[in-house]
Amino acid sequence: MRQKINRRFTVIALFSVVITTIAMTAVFYSLLKKQVFSDLAVVVNLLIDEDLYERKIDNLRITWIDADGKVLFDSTVDGQLLANHLDRPEIVEAVSSGTGMGIRKSDTLSESVFYYAKKLDNGQVLRVGKGAHSVEAVLLSALPMVLTMALLLAGICLMVSHYLTSAIVKPIEEMAGDMEHIDEKESYPELIPFTRKIRLQHEEILSAANIRQEFTANVSHELKTPLAAISGYAELMETGLVDEKEMKRFSGEIRKSAARLLTLINDIIKLSQLDAGNAKDILEVVNLAEITKESVEMLSFGAAKNGIAVMYEGDDKADVHIGKELAQELTYNLIENAIRYNKPNGRVTVKVQKEGAQIIFSVEDTGIGIPPEHQERIFERFYRVDKGRSKELGGTGLGLAIVKHICNLTDADVRLMSKPEVGTKIFIVWGRGSA
């Protein structure tokens, strides 16, 4: 860009210098011409005033012509030898209007000549000519000066164009050099939409990179714990010093850790599938009420063992563009949480309801609730209010992150109402945009 602007400026500058030089020369030449003619007029008038028609003056050709065109005298050639001059343009002009001027190649002399002719009272004509060589010599003598000026001007133009280019490009280069503060740099108003967009994208990229890095660190950490447990128990068993009762307990611990690893890896795979560009491909219209009832059925047996009742109280049919797999994932995760973070003999009420154009899925529990300061963050990956409790109950900290992802993918809103020690209610609402 800098090169391009600089090149354009230079071309414009040089072009103007060339044009100016030519124009200046042309003006100078025309002034000179005028001057030459007026000088010649002075000489002619002087000669006429003094009645000196047969004079020789250096560098001038003086011709005295009779009214019939016959050359009476010529200062450069023998007048007798010259042809009739009545056809010469300056003579024609002088005869008809008193004075005549012309520049032309002389038939007699071998160069271009400036002529000035004046009619005398008796009808004769006196003409003075000046060779163009002497005029051109004046012009030529001015040439070095003109060229020096032109070169000087060109040099100044080049410097100015260089400076202007730098001034134009500088704000842009400064912006490119410091992307993080691109918005704060003073630049052109025309660029503000771009800088704003670039800054936003820059921030998005940075934050995505941060999230990814944090996620990778968290995943490694989460995988390490069960693996360390498995390795530890296996090492103890390897010594052969473990009695049968302990052997059984250790095997149980190994199985639990392995199961934990499996759920964790499953959740991670689900998240990365939801992150993939083609995640929307599996969306299709399904009966969410039906799928919710299946999830309730699957989970209520285990819940009942802890004295927790899970009830479905919604409609029988509610179509949502979500696809079976994601519908199962979403309903299962939310109902599982309502059971997991419940109190003994608690209740879980699950509903799918149609309200106008909206479909509302809700899960209400009578559990431990979520303190207000945590409510914003529980949808983040690996965020848990009570890490120990979540782990003990087989949680991965990814369930709600998956739910949130599914909501984003299917254009649903998530709303949460929770009171510590009283319970939690989570709503997922589809079709708000169209309502």
The helix (H) or strand (E) run that includes residue 326 is helix 324-340
Residues 338-361 as b/e (b if ≥16 CB within 10 A, e otherwise) read bbbbbbeebbbbbbbebeeebbbb
Give the x-and-dash track for 327-366 against ligand ADP (CB under 6 A).
----------xx--x-----------------------x-
φ and ψ at residue 357, rounded to 5 degrees: -85, -5
Helix (H, G, I), strand (E, B) or coil at 188: coil
**Which of 386, 392, 422, 432 is the binder for ligand ADP (CB under 6 A)?**
386
The helix (H) or strand (E) run that includes residue 146 is helix 132-177
Residue with token string 């050639």: 77
* Token pair of 99 as six digits: 């004075």
Cα–Cα distance for residue pair 362/317, rounded to 1 Å: 15
Q: How far is the CB of 419 from ligand ADP (least distance, A)?
A: 10
Touching ligand ADP, residues 411-430 (CB under 6 A) = 424
Among the candidate windows 53-61, 150-158, 185-193, 381-389, which touches ligand ADP by CB under 6 A? 381-389
Cα–Cα distance for residue pair 12/18, rounded to 1 Å: 10
Touching ligand ADP, residues 136-165 (CB under 6 A) = none
Q: Name the residue nearer to ligand ADP (CB basis): 93 or 365.
A: 365
Please give the size of the binding site for ligand ADP, defined by CB under 6 A.
22
Asked if 260 is part of the footprint of ligand ADP (rule: CB under 6 A), the reply reads no
The helix (H) or strand (E) run that includes residue 20 is helix 2-49
Residue with token string 């209740």: 347
Is 427:361 a contact under the CB 8 Å cutoff?
yes
Nearest in space to 27 (alpha carbons), one of 17, 19, 39 = 19
Is 197:182 a contact under the CB 8 Å cutoff?
no
Q: Which residue type occupies 237? A: M
Q: How far is the CB of 210 from ligand ADP (least distance, A)?
A: 20
Residues 6+ apart with CB under 8 A from 120: 48, 126
Q: Name the residue nearer to ligand ADP (CB basis): 120 or 417.
A: 417
Q: Name the residue nearer to ligand ADP (CB basis): 74 or 336.
A: 336
**Which of 314, 346, 399, 431 is the binder for ligand ADP (CB under 6 A)?**
399
**Which of 85, 119, 384, 405 is the binder for ligand ADP (CB under 6 A)?**
384
Among the candidate windows 172-180, 201-209, 214-222, 379-387, which touches ligand ADP by CB under 6 A? 379-387
Among the candidate windows 78-86, 217-225, 297-305, 397-405, which touches ligand ADP by CB under 6 A? 397-405
Q: How far is the CB of 338 from ligand ADP (least distance, A)?
A: 5
Q: Name the residue nearer to ligand ADP (CB basis): 63 or 257.
A: 257
Q: How far is the CB of 281 from ligand ADP (least distance, A)?
A: 25
Q: Name the residue nearer to ligand ADP (CB basis): 127 or 270.
A: 270
Q: Name the residue nearer to ligand ADP (CB basis): 157 or 338.
A: 338
**Which of 400, 406, 412, 429 is the binder for ligand ADP (CB under 6 A)?**
400
Q: Name the residue nearer to ligand ADP (CB basis): 286 or 401.
A: 401
Four-CA torsion 377, 383, 387, 391, nearest 10 degrees: 130
Q: Name the residue nearer to ligand ADP (CB basis): 44 or 339.
A: 339
**Which of 161, 165, 349, 396 is the binder for ligand ADP (CB under 6 A)?**
396
Angstrom distances, CA of residue 140 to CA of 25, 132, 144, 281, 287: 10, 12, 8, 83, 98
Is 426:334 a contact under the CB 8 Å cutoff?
yes
Give the binding site for ligand ADP (CB under 6 A): 337-338, 341, 365, 367-370, 378, 383-386, 390, 395-401, 424
